[in-house]
């Protein structure tokens, strides 16, 4: 039985042999649907109306553009997964060197702590809201601890089982969430004051662009994980289909959720600023809709965290933590418990903390994206044994374990991205420029790292013999 067929995935960083690549491109669609099943999109949609002052038509533009931009990048980088058969941060060793990869790897690993914390908190709030709606149980500190333990524990189990468990859960949660989202949408259509929705004046173009950046930041955070979910695809799988399934899966959730949040905000303007980003659903929807919708959303948020922890396990292994992938995720699980408790009990503004985190997350990942993306355009395949060889004999050792071109471009791009970024607790000196005011620090990071890496001399390293690829890719993305 192949690794792809077993109930528990045991494969770690080692590339998947061609004989075990039984995945299908269409399986990516529910994967990226599940990656976006979060009530936080409702809160973010509300934020576009309350804080960015956008009208419904501008929100529509944001809700369409953001997933196309961000998950388009996710899909493109995911092509590397079917080429190399290894997780994204393992393939990154070919770009940065065996030692050099530790730096972006560590930053991305730490960034995942915050992402998993945000989702753990959202999941815990969903449980608390259901308990309140059904049994009148009010939130308190001991109950917060119990709900966090429950959510993170479930996440640990699913992510530990591996890719097959994620595929099955993603498939069924897609069906259920889709059905109930239609029900919620129908309820909103029937009860919303549409004259107030359509009568809202338009906001500035700058705020609309900034809104695209804010919503897109969530998708940008998945870019390094993209190859983790395509490593089981055959090398001949359609790249166009891969990108299309990624954008489509994300967009089919992001678009209606953001729009629904914007519509809800017209009648409930304090929605975006609530400390609890979930309980408003119980106030706006009847119990018979709110409870099952929250339970399904809870499964979705559990899947988001499971996917993140699944990738975090690989990232931990690339950093030299020599434990099986299933156990490597335990570190992130423990951290999300601690940080989640602090966010729920100590923090004064969930939305402010969430947006600030998303902004910094996108900047942290953007520097890696530009370098890795340009490198992917240059190479056709990856040397599997060299990826796993962390000694001086590795073809990806370069000079002292570092690819100086990649490290230079990554470091400078990270600095540039931060210079244009402003959040609640940090402001770069260029944050007041057009780029900074439009929330495009992450875009500046991708552009800077990509251009620098492209113009610097190419790092010399032998590639493995390139197997046959699909015609659409071999002609356009090879040297």
pLDDT at 271: 62
Q: pTM for the full model?
A: 0.86
Neighbouring CB atoms inside 10 A of 334's CB total 13
For residues 271-287, average pLDDT: 72
Percentage of residues in the chain having pLDDT higher than 70: 87
Residue 394 has pLDDT above 90, yes or no: yes
Handedness of CA 79, 80, 85, 89 (dihedral sign): negative
pLDDT confidence band for 460 (50 / 70 / 90): low
pLDDT digits (tens, 9 = 90+) for 91-123: 999 999 999 999 999 988 887 777 778 878 888
- Report in angstroms the alpha-carbon separations of 341 from 22, 84, 187, 361: 41, 39, 34, 20
Q: Which helix (H) or strand (E) holds 216?
A: helix 205-220
pLDDT digits (tens, 9 = 90+) for 300-332: 777 777 787 778 778 878 887 776 655 666 777
Residue 1 has pLDDT above 60, yes or no: no
- Angle, to 10 degrees, between the axis of helix 40-50 and the axis of helix 350-378? 110
Percentage of residues in the chain having pLDDT higher than 90: 40
Distance CA 317, CA 10 (A): 13
User: With 0-12 CB in 10 A as exposed, 13-18 as middle and 19+ as buried, what is 142?
Assistant: exposed
In sequence order, which residues have a C-beta less than 8 Å from that of residue 311 and are 6 or more positions away? 87, 88, 89, 112, 224, 225, 228
pLDDT at 39: 80
For residues 343-367, average pLDDT: 77
For residues 344-348, average pLDDT: 68
pLDDT confidence band for 85 (50 / 70 / 90): very high
Nearest-CA neighbor of 30 among 232, 181, 176, 180?
176
| Range in 357-371, 436-450, 461-475 with the lowest mean pLDDT | 461-475
Residue 400 has pLDDT above 90, yes or no: yes
Q: Do 397 and 391 meet the contact criterion of CB atoms below 8 Å apart?
A: yes
Q: Span 25-455: which CATH code?
A: 1.10.4160.10
User: With 0-12 CB in 10 A as exposed, 13-18 as middle and 19+ as buried, what is 167?
Assistant: middle
More confident of the two residues 239 and 189: 239
More confident of the two residues 365 and 178: 365
| Range in 1-10, 153-162, 163-172, 271-280 with the lowest mean pLDDT | 1-10
Q: Do 367 and 449 meet the contact criterion of CB atoms below 8 Å apart?
A: yes
Residue 465 has pLDDT above 60, yes or no: no
pLDDT at 161: 66
Residues in the chain, total: 479
Q: Do 132 and 144 meet the contact criterion of CB atoms below 8 Å apart?
A: no
Q: Which tokens sit at 329?
A: 């995720």
For residues 31-39, average pLDDT: 85
């Amino acid at each position: 039985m192949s690794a792809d067929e077993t109930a528990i995935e045991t494969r770690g960083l080692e590339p998947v042999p061609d004989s075990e690549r039984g995945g299908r491109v269409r399986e990516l669609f529910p994967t990226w649907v599940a990656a976006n099943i979060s009530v936080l999109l409702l809160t973010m949609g509300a934020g576009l109306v309350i804080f960015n002052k956008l009208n419904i038509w501008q929100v529509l533009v944001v809700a369409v553009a953001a997933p196309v931009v961000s998950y388009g990048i996710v899909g493109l980088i995911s092509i590397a997964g079917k080429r190399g058969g290894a997780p994204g941060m393992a393939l990154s060793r070919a770009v940065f060197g065996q030692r050099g990869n530790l730096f972006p790897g560590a930053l991305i690993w730490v960034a995942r702590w915050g992402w998993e914390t945000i989702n753990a908190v959202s999941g815990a709030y969903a449980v608390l809201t259901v308990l309140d709606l059904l049994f009148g149980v009010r939130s308190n500190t001991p109950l917060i601890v119990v709900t966090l333990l429950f959510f993170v524990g479930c996440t640990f189990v699913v992510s530990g089982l591996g890719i097959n468990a994620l595929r099955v859960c993603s498939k069924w949660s897609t069906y259920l969430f889709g059905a109930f989202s239609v029900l919620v949408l129908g309820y909103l259509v029937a009860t919303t004051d549409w004259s107030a929705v359509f009568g809202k004046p338009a906001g500035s173009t700058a705020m609309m662009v900034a809104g695209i950046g804010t919503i897109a930041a969530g998708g940008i955070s998945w870019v390094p994980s993209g190859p983790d979910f395509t490593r089981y695809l055959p090398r001949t799988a359609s790249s166009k289909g891969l990108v299309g399934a990624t954008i489509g899966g994300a967009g089919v959730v992001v678009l209606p959720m953001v729009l629904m949040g914007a519509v809800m905000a017209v009648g409930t303007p304090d929605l975006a600023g609530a400390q609890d980003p979930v309980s408003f659903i119980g106030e706006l929807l009847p119990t018979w809709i709110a409870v099952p919708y929250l339970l399904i959303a809870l499964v979705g948020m559990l899947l988001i965290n499971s996917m993140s922890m699944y990738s975090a396990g690989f990232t931990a292994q690339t950093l030299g933590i020599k434990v099986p992938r299933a156990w490597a995720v335990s570190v992130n699980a423990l951290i999300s418990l601690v940080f989640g408790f602090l966010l729920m009990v100590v923090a004064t503004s969930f939305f402010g903390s969430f947006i600030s985190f998303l902004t910094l997350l996108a900047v942290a990942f953007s520097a890696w994206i530009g370098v890795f993306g340009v490198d992917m355009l240059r190479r056709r395949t990856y040397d599997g044994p060299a990826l796993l060889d962390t000694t001086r004999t590795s073809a990806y050792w370069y000079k002292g374990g570092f690819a100086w071109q990649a490290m230079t471009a990554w470091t400078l791009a990270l600095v540039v991205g931060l210079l244009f970024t402003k959040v609640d607790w940090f402001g770069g000196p260029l944050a007041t420029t057009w780029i900074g005011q439009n929330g495009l620090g992450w875009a500046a990071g991708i552009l800077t790292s990509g251009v620098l890496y492209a113009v610097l001399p190419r790092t010399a390293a032998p590639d493995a013999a390139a197997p046959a690829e699909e015609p659409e890719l071999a002609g356009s993305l090879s040297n």
